[in-house]
Structure 1
Amino acid sequence: MPPNRTRRGAAPPSSSRKRKATDDATEEKKEARPQKARKRSTSSTNMNQTEISTESADKLEKPILINRSPVLELWGACVASFLHPDMSWNACINIGSSIATLTAIAKGRSIGKIAEPDPDKQAERKKKGKGDEGLPIIRVMGFPMTMKGDAVVFKGKERTAREANLVRKFGEENLGKVKTTMGKALESWRGDEGELDKSAFHMYERFRPQVPKGQQGWGRKGELHLSKIEGAVRKS
């Protein structure tokens, strides 16, 4: 009989330990649940912040609707001013305008919008051009520009442009924004002007307004984004 009492007496402590272990495990689970919930909440917040921060900047800004020619004209002027700070802004605009015209002519001929040059007229211009020998020639974006004062000698004639034309096409406020964006981004190339000159036209091709290819896009307007200018020009 004593052995039986001993076994019955030993049972309660075992049962108590099991209940205690179960209660402890339950408490641990309860304590763990809020932590998991907090982790999920923090993770969700981080994901939302990442989505906002990585959202394309050009979707958050209001694009400027404009065709390509004035954009290239302004870009050429800004590049000329950066590469040749001793030149007047009027001279830089004349250079930008000439670059835009040369590019438009080449594009127009490639898609059949502009006729090929007359050989006789070309020969005549070359004869007239002999009188321009000795004038300074500078290169901007790979284009050689013969300068006569602030004017560019273009096809044997002095070519001048006015900033007022850019104001009319951009709008005064937008012109200021684009010019400032280009100028600030160009500053990142200080000390590496030679490489900038080689890359400047390719930069333009990256940020220029997107229009349909070929004749469908001739003279059409597209969206110009300041963020694309910044991304294409600023040196990494």
Structure 2
Amino acid sequence: MAIKVNRAPVLTLWATVVAERLGHPPETALSLAKAVAGTAARAKAKRLGIDEESDKARDRGDAAPATPKDTAQLLGRKIRLVHDKDGMVLADDGNGKSAPAKPVEAYIAKAFGDRLAEVRKAMEALAARFEPEELNRVGFRLYEHFRPEVPPDVKGWGAKGLLDLEKIRSARGQVG
């Protein structure tokens, strides 16, 4: 049975699963996933013509550049890293501060409700079929295969679509 959900939490959960498969601890994975979903959201905002000036500045690279050791690659995105007050490595929220994991975890839990475990299990099984580096390389294309279909007549931001778990389970053969 399909789940009616926005694409953003699906991408966030998938990015979390991929980051964990790459060996990141859960808190780091959630933080990195938020950064990946944020990048995708900014790209969509540009396509819809609703991007903000702060996003334009970030995309121009007005912030101080990070060194390679201060970044992580996840699903084709380079993410700046920072340490929180406890020394945990997290994604940079764009302002040089850490993007905490707890709100991301709550966001995913709310979006999927009682179906979260089922969706996560399907995503983890898909991720396990790939070596970590290859998963990171093809992971966004896998997501594009199984992401919720938004009806063509639905326009705008935050439209919900149907996430078909069978598409997640069969996504392995969709990339090369």
Normalising by the smaller structure, the TM-score range is: 0.7 to 0.9
Residues 26-56 of structure 1, C-alpha deviations (whole Å, 9 max, x = no match) = xxxxxxxxxxxxxxxxxxxxxxxxxxxxxxx
CA contact (8 A) 2:142 2:174 kept: no
Q: Give how far 1:119 is off.
A: 6.5
Q: Give how far 1:70 is off.
A: 0.4
CA distance in 2, matches of 1:125, 1:68: 29
How does the TM-score come out when normalised to structure 2? Answer: 0.81
CA distance in 1, matches of 2:29, 2:128: 17
* Letter aligned with residue 74 of structure 2: V
CA contact (8 A) 1:111 1:214 kept: no
How does the TM-score come out when normalised to structure 1? Answer: 0.62
| Partner in structure 2 of residue 196 of structure 1 | 135
Unpaired segments of 5 or more residues in structure 2?
Answer: 83-87
**Which of 87, 106, 121 is the equivalent residue of 1:180?**
121
CA gap of 1:187–1:219, structure 2 versus 1, over 3 A, is same
Three-state SS of the structure 2 residue aligned to 1:154 is coil
CA contact (8 A) 1:207 1:225 kept: yes
Equivalent residue pairs, number? 167
**Which of 61, 72, 79 is the equivalent residue of 1:145?**
79
CA distance in 2, matches of 1:124, 1:187: 35
**Which of 100, 112, 123 is the equivalent residue of 1:160?**
100
Which range moved further: 196-205 or 209-218?
209-218
Three-state SS of the structure 2 residue aligned to 1:99 is helix
Q: Give how far 1:133 is off.
A: 4.5
Q: Give how far 1:123 is off.
A: 7.5
Select the structure that is richer in helix: 1
Task: From the CA coordinates, give the structure whose radius of gyration is larger.
Answer: 1
CA gap of 1:93–1:214, structure 2 versus 1, over 3 A, is farther
| Partner in structure 1 of residue 85 of structure 2 | none
Per chain length, whose mean CA-contact separation is higher, i.e. which structure has more relative contact order (CA < 8 Å, sep 6+)? 2
Residues 1:113 and 2:50 aligned together: yes
CA distance in 1, matches of 2:174, 2:46: 34
| Partner in structure 1 of residue 112 of structure 2 | 170
CA distance in 1, matches of 2:56, 2:37: 23
Please tell me the root mean square deviation across aligned C-alpha atoms, in Å: 2.7
* Letter aligned with residue 111 of structure 1: L
CA gap of 1:156–1:183, structure 2 versus 1, over 3 A, is same
CA distance in 2, matches of 1:178, 1:186: 12
Residues 48-79 of structure 1, C-alpha deviations (whole Å, 9 max, x = no match) = xxxxxxxxxxxxxx211100000000000100
CA distance in 2, matches of 1:120, 1:206: 31
Unpaired segments of 5 or more residues in structure 1?
Answer: 1-61
